[in-house]
Structure 1
Amino acid sequence: MTALDLRPNAPFDLAPLSVMLTDPDDRTLINPNAKHPFDPLEWQEKWLAEPDDASFYISDGAGRDVGFFALRVGVGPEVRHLTYVYLEPEARGGAGARMAELVEQAARGLGALTVTLKCELDNLPALNAYRAAGYEELSQRGGMATMRLDLD
């Protein structure tokens, strides 16, 4: 597995994400409601438009962007909701624990005390990675697990 590092998406730039999401199946994984082909303006105005949204790129050891995620404000500013998680297939093998560390690092940097997320129940690699990282499953509904990690 390649070393993965966190890079805040500041200033706001969606060009790297548009390069990653050229496959319609990848776009469906990260956001099934978004248009294909990738539309940076749609993402800026619709999917990452809240003032307190924070998004991040994941880079490999060579500095190449290989992933993305966003942390939205949840119930209060001390809760961040993980969304739009994507990691290129070549970077996935065994990367779950490192991705969870990077999400936790980013959330702590935003002052969060808790991270919440939803994960498809049939996405076993992601579900197992979240469980291994200490996320508690709160409920299952509509093919999705709702999970929470307290950062204290």
Structure 2
Amino acid sequence: MPLTLRRNRDRDLGPLAAMLPPNEIPLINPNAKVPFDEMEWHRKWLGDLDDVSFYLQDETGQDVGFFALRVGVGPEVRHLTYAFLIEEARGGAGAELTECVEQAARDLGALTLTLKVEVDNAPAVNAYRSAGYEELSRRQGMATMRLDLEERRAA
């Protein structure tokens, strides 16, 4: 399924709320309230001025995913804070998701992309490894991973 990127310039979280089933909120953000609280997300989870979020759309223009990038250690580093695909878009879309995340990070001037992923989330861990991310560490059930965007572009 070809995915296209739509930058969330208005910081509209309504489409995310519509896509995200209550039982999956802890998967994308274990600390968030259930049911989805748009004001909480604006205030706590996507409230930094440098946070940038995106929706992923399928070929019909329907929103099928979401991710957010935060400035990491310095403006040349972006940190993937949230990534979500609706169930119907899963199963092979991991490569497209990671390509969209990389492109968005490059468009924001990033040279490096980092993320944390639950080690028990094998599909996500495998998608990031397949995309070339290296695992830096594991702590408290989370793996910290990194991708050098400059090195990737040169390859």
TM-score scaled to structure 1, two decimals?
0.96
Query: Cα distance, 1:93 vs. partner?
Result: 1.1
Aligned twin of 1:5: 4
TM-score w.r.t. length of structure 2? 0.94
Paired with 1:47 and 1:34, the residues of 2 have a C-alpha distance of: 8
Cα distance in structure 1, aligned partners of 2:122 and 2:19: 22
Q: How does 1:1-152 map to 2 (within 5 A)?
A: 2-21=1-20, 23-152=21-150
| Aligned-partner Cα distance in 1 for 2:43–2:143 | 27
Question: Structure 2 counterpart of 1:76, which letter?
Answer: G
* 1:35-61 deviations in Å (ceiling 9; x for gaps): 111111111111101010000001111
Could you tell me how far apart the structure 2 residues matched to 1:110 and 1:121 are?
28
Aligned mates of 1:110, 1:96 — CA distance in 2: 21
Counterpart-to-counterpart distance in 2, 1:140 and 1:39: 30
Distance 1:115 1:25 in 2: 28
Three-state SS of the structure 1 residue aligned to 2:23 is helix
Shift of residue 24 of structure 1? Answer: 2.3
Q: Which amino acid aligns with 2:6?
A: R
User: For structure 2, which runs of at least 5 residues remain unmatched after alignment?
Assistant: 151-155
Distance 2:67 2:23 in 1: 17
Post-superposition CA distance 1:103-150 (Å, at most 9, x none): 000000110000000111111111011001000100111111100001
SS at match of 1:98: helix
The CA deviation string for residues 40-86 of structure 1, in whole angstroms up to 9 with x for no partner, is 11111111010100000011111000110100011011100001111
Instruction: Quote the Cα distance in structure 1 between the aligned partners of 2:16 and 2:35.
Output: 12
Question: SS in structure 2 opposite 1:43?
Answer: helix
For residues 11 and 119 of structure 2, the distance between their equivalents in structure 1, rounded to whole angstroms, comes to 31
**Size of the alignment, in residue pairs?**
150
State the distance in 1 between where 2:27 and 2:117 align.
11
State the identity %.
69
Q: What secondary structure is seen at the aligned counterpart in 2 of 1:112?
A: coil
Q: Indicate the SS of the match to 1:97.
A: helix
Give the aligned CA root-mean-square deviation in angstroms.
0.8
- 1:14 is matched by which residue type in structure 2? L
After superposing on structure 2, the runs of 4+ consecutive aligned residues of structure 1 that deviate more than 3 Å are: none
